[in-house]
């Protein structure tokens, strides 16, 4: 459907419901005149459409951003599956309508990502690392807290990152029996694993930060390479992270990494170092999901 074809259909009697399917803040900023709004990204999308068009035979034309965004096509799929029989898409969306010089309603201020620059200090109460350890027959998971951390950006570019882990805060979430839970934590604290009495913290300091050019929203946008110190042993590691902010004052950074504990001196239950382990085998790799919330400093 072209812009001129849409104009013709909107002059029909009765006119179709013209449905803008992007978020409310986009609708407020830019919309084709006469549009109603129901965001296809919301779980309540069909309920919101039903409030606008109770009759499933009512003609509906949907549009979104246009270009390569699948918003309108997704809305069509959902509406047809819900029983709406006269639905069509203006595939060009806002981009095509605007390119054809046709009138746009709204305040014109499309939402954009805030400028990120300055030093951000990690909120240790809100930040957390989730860990998972496995063997051939079982797995355990839990959290460990951050002791400190700092992130620095300059004109949208990440230039420094570091964090320190409080190893004595290790907690297990899957073992509900308190006796077994306490036993596991003692084991993880011991020199079989993290030797917490001698090494109460672990630390990562980035040495190089590479922007990932092919990233999209919601995917990692940087690759960190740096020094990770655990049990007093430092090794070089690399892992991707996603850094984003809603307001420019608080940012969130998250990434996942698989850490080989044996290169840091934790050999317990490792098939690299022992034979005939049977049910006592423990995987060498620990999975970590790091999530940091950091606040901008004055």
What is the mean pLDDT of the segment spanning 206-226? 92
SS (H, E, C) the chain: CCHHHHHHHHCCCCCCEEEECCCHHHHHHCECCCCEECCCCCCCHHHHHHHHCCCCCCCEEEECCCCCCCHHHHHHHHHHHCCCCCEEECCCHHHHHHHCCCCCECCCCCCCCCCCCEEEEECCCCCEEEEEEECCCCEEEEEECEEEEEEEEECCEEEEEEEEEEHHHCEECCCCCHHHHHHHHHHHHCCCCCCCCCCCEEEEEEEEEEECCCCCCCCCCEEEEEEEEECCEEEEEEEEEEEEECCCCEEEEEEEEEEEHHHHCCCCCCCCCCCCCHHHCCCCEEEEEEEEEEEECC
The 10s digit of each residue's pLDDT in 253-282 is: 999 999 999 999 999 999 999 999 988 999
CATH code for position 240? 2.40.128.110
Q: What is the mean pLDDT of residues 284-298?
A: 95
Task: For the full predicted model, state whether its pTM sits above 0.85.
Answer: no
Identify the domain containing residue 173 by its residue range: 118-296
pLDDT at residue 13 tops 90: no
290 pLDDT higher than 80? yes
**pLDDT beyond 80 at 63:** yes
**Same domain for 43 and 144?**
no
Q: Is residue 274 part of a domain?
A: yes
What's the total number of domains in the chain? 2
Tell whether the model's pLDDT for residue 61 goes beyond 80.
yes
* Residue 12 pLDDT level (bands cut at 50, 70, 90): confident
Same domain? For 122 and 230 the reply is yes
Over the chain, what is the mean pLDDT?
Answer: 93
Is 110 among the domain residues? Answer: no
For 136-155, what is each residue's pLDDT tens digit?
888 999 999 999 999 999 88
Residue 45: which CATH number?
3.40.250.10
Give 222-235 pLDDT, tens digit per residue: 999 999 999 999 99
Q: Does the residue 199 lie in any domain?
A: yes
Same-domain status, 24 and 84: yes
Residue 105 lies in a domain: no
Q: Do 80 and 169 share a structural domain?
A: no
Quickly state the pLDDT bin for 117 (edges 50, 70, 90).
Answer: confident
Both 213 and 157 in one domain: the answer is yes
């Amino acid at each position: 459907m072209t812009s001129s074809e849409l104009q013709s259909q909107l002059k029909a009697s009765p006119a179709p419901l013209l449905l803008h399917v992007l978020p409310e803040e986009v609708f407020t900023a830019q919309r084709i005149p006469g549009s109603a709004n129901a965001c296809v990204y919301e779980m309540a999308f069909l309920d919101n459409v039903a409030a606008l068009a109770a009759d499933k035979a009512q003609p509906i034309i949907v549009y979104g951003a246009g270009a390569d965004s699948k918003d309108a096509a997704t809305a069509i799929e959902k509406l047809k599956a819900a029983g709406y029989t006269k639905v069509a898409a203006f595939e060009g969306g806002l981009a095509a309508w605007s390119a054809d010089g046709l009138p746009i309603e709204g305040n014109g201020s499309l939402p954009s990502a805030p400028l990120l620059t300055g030093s951000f200090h990690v909120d240790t109460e809100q930040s957390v690392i989730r860990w998972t350890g496995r063997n051939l027959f079982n797995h355990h998971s839990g959290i460990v807290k951050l002791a400190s951390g700092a992130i620095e950006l300059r004109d949208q570019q990440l230039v420094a990152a570091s964090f320190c882990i409080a190893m004595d805060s290790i907690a297990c979430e899957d073992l509900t029996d308190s006796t077994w839970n306490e036993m596991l934590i003692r084991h993880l604290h011991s020199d079989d694993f993290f030797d917490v009495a001698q090494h109460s913290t672990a630390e990562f300091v980035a040495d190089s930060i590479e922007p990932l050019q092919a990233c999209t929203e919601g995917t990692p946008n940087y690759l960190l390479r740096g020094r990770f110190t655990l049990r007093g042993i430092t090794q070089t590691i690399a892992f991707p992270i996603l850094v984003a902010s809603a307001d420019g004052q608080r940012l969130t950074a998250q990434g996942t990494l698989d850490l080989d504990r044996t290169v840091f001196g934790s050999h317990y239950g490792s098939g690299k170092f022992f034979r005939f382990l049977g049910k006592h085998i423990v995987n060498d790799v620990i999975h970590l999901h790091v999530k940091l919330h950091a606040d901008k400093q004055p």
